[in-house]
Amino acid sequence: MASRKKKFFYIILTNHYFKVGNEFKQRLGYGVTDDPGGRIRKYSNTSGGEQEFVKLYYCDNYEVMEVEKILKQRLADDCHTINGEEVEWISPYSDIGVKELTQMVEDIIKDLRLPVRQVKDEYLPFKDAEWQKDLTRESVETYPDQYLKGDDS
């Protein structure tokens, strides 16, 4: 069965902490979705705590899936492994944080000249709060300038 095309790319920083040496590190990850509200609710419901996307990107033509594919290749050594399978979670032993992961995503978008735009900061962090319910695929497609940063932002 073919995977459904996704239009949003997200970076998630969970409220789960891992002890690494003498430090505690939050779980950092990324992925794609067609429904940010539904996806963040699934993370929250299965983890037993509220979660949030610290960054969200959008593209009409599914190029966020290309960003995810390239990122998986570049992060192969830094991704966590669960049951022998690489997942889209950064290993707690990695030095990659939100800032570095965001820069990698933005470099991929810029280098490939992809028409991917970042969701405006006023909607972040995204946790599907009541005031964020209107941030959906349909509303972004209808009113992109209301929700998305411009190319020069």
Domain limits of the chain?
8-147
Dihedral over alpha carbons 64, 70, 75, 76 (to 10 degrees): 120
- Residue-wise pLDDT tens digits, 31-64: 999 999 999 999 998 888 889 999 999 999 999 9
pLDDT digits (tens, 9 = 90+) for 97-147: 999 999 999 999 999 999 999 999 999 999 989 999 999 999 999 999 999
Flag whether the pTM goes above 0.85: yes
Q: Give the type of residue at 138.
A: E
* CA–CA–CA angle 105, 125, 4 (5° rounding): 55
